[in-house]
Structure 1
């Protein structure tokens, strides 16, 4: 069972009791962990190239970079009365990555 199936099953069961169940799927945030994973994936990349991959190349939205606060705001919204009729939903916060972004066109060191 994947996490989305589980979330929808729980949402369905708890909706009868007025409990909303939603999930958030954020994209990579330039934390030490995310930067480390990308650095391991592309060992030829410099630290600057790794940071650029996470903050610019792995998203579709130009001029913005995902921050921890963006994910927190999504959670606050889903917990608010403004989202009172939202349940069983996975809110994707990824700067457009899932609309078809290629991870890295030419990874560093691939030439």
Structure 2
């Protein structure tokens, strides 16, 4: 029986990426995850895990060259990401380059390789890049991260422009504060939580499944006329300030 649905997910072993894997497996997709850490889904029959450094461009490109593609829908979710929190005068060039290597270059390598394989094999598909509200605004002490997430949104538009003629859609999601292992320390800090809740305009907190459900929409036929867009999921973080 031919493969009907396939998803590739980077950053698949934790946080938003792990929720993406769960969502696509539940929807009947065969999933290939890419992460430097092991996966809790390793024993799932429809899951294949590639444990690797996402910045190894040769290996990353090879994952897509060797993969089998589905007949009905193929999906790429670029979730892998990293950040720094330090003053701009303390930001080293090596840390700047590391943040861009993970957040931007890996998304470019994976995105282009995925789209080129769809064109080569004449298969349908679409991609979603996980950006951030930090790709829409500035934030203190996150110069590399903010700059990289702005670049992810630009990359999304460019991939959508270049591959749209092949019926390939590419969109981005810009989450606000989402509870993940990376942000977990916030939830043990009352002052930080007060700042987060004051900065939003909905009295709820963001969860990883909020982002996964948005990706499921963007990669479905319901979004057939949506490309090059950025879907903001932030509880109102970017709509204004509480003056």
| Structure 1 length-normalised TM | 0.72
3-state SS in 1 of match to 2:169: coil
Is structure 2 residue 145 aligned with structure 1 residue 4? no
1:24 and 2:173 aligned? yes
Contact 1:30 1:51 in 2 (8 A): no
Matched with 2:189 is 47
> Where do residues 1-111 of structure 1 align in structure 2 (5 Å cutoff)?
2-36=151-185, 47-54=189-196, 56-62=197-203, 64-101=204-241
> For the residues of structure 1 that align with 2:180 and 2:199, how far apart are their CA atoms?
14
SS at 1:14 equivalent: helix
Q: 1:30 to 1:57 in 2, by over 3 A?
A: farther
CA-to-aligned-CA distance 1:35-85 (integer Å, 9 cap, x gap): 43x59xxxxxx723333444x2231113x2211111111000101111011
Give distance in 2, aligned partners of 1:86 and 1:47: 39
Unaligned runs of 5+ in 1: 40-45, 106-111
Write 1 or 2 for the structure with the bigger share of strand: 2
User: Using CA pairs below 8 Å that are at least 6 residues apart, which structure has the higher relative contact order?
Assistant: 1
CA RMSD between the two structures: 2.4
Contact 1:4 / 1:90 at 8 angstroms: preserved in 2?
A: yes
Q: Normalized against structure 2, the TM-score is what? A: 0.35
Gaps of 5+ in 2: 1-149
